Amino acid sequence: MLADNHVHLEKGPYTLDWLEQFVAQADRRGMEELGIVEHFYRFVESKPCLYNDRIAPKQTQHLEAYLELMALAQQKGWPVKTGLEVDYIPGKEDAIRKALKGLPLDFVIGSVHWLGDWCFDGDPESWEGRDLEAVYREYYDVLAQAVESKLFDVLGHPGNIAYFGHRADVTAITRIENEWLARIKRHRICIEVNTGGLLRPARSLFPRVDLLRRIRIANFDISFASDAHAPEDVGHAFAETQQLVKQINFNCACRFRRRKPRLVSI
């Protein structure tokens, strides 16, 4: 029985009726637990952490409404955990720490979607003319900084720099990834296995299978994530992914309560 630890409600209202559709799909797919993680940038409270012309039109929600919904669902005994997906922005560590302090969260995912003022998974045309190896090197440097910040419980979808299918030379990518793993190896963070990439233009797990093997050798724990933005995508491809990670010799996956991890057999 697995947990899907990366599900977004943002395409609907913060109501029990909408949340229940995700819970029902999780039950149909054999999920024992559902981790809801709204994008933090959607809340007005996140402005000190991330604010720009692209984000501003989306930054309309209030964190209190989301947290109240999740508290009500937990009071009803629904198998849901309360999380946030927070964009890691270098230099914003103190603002993120302050914004998260005291919130009743079960876990926080730290993700990288921005390199400077470029949202690399927002517009495929924005990739035109870019040096792919330089982009990958910058991405994995920022991803390492996210881990080193110690702000997060889970590292979200590592490798999503390939969101639109842009990939540098495989030898260069492997070298950059190995340098990244060596840099973060002394830090303990759960690394997400995100099946949502299979539904994106990359058509790949994030991290892709070859990197996931090296993550296992480096002895990191993992969690399962669909990155579902609609009820029908909850638990997408989890059965196949469960078998895959077992073949790579992962035996457990992380679940969270009040920002404390526990390992559960898979």
pLDDT of residue 4: 98
- What are the tens digits of pLDDT across the range 212-243? 999 999 999 999 999 999 999 999 999 999 99
Query: Residue 20 CA to chain centroid, in angstroms?
Result: 22
pLDDT of residue 103: 98
* For residue 138, pLDDT beyond 80: yes
* For residue 107, pLDDT beyond 80: yes
Determine the average pLDDT of the residues in 127-155. 98
* For residue 1, pLDDT beyond 90: no
The angle that helices 63-75 and 16-28 make with each other, rounded to 10 degrees, is 50
Determine the average pLDDT of the residues in 113-133. 98
CB neighbours of residue 129 within 10 Å: 5
- What are the tens digits of pLDDT across the range 29-84? 999 999 999 999 999 999 999 999 999 999 999 999 999 999 999 999 999 999 99
Determine the average pLDDT of the residues in 196-201. 97
pLDDT of residue 177: 98
- What are the tens digits of pLDDT across the range 154-176? 999 999 999 999 999 999 999 99
pLDDT of residue 71: 98
Q: Determine if the pTM surpasses 0.75.
A: yes
Domains along the sequence of the chain with CATH = 2-265 (3.20.20.140)
Mean pLDDT score across all residues of the chain: 97
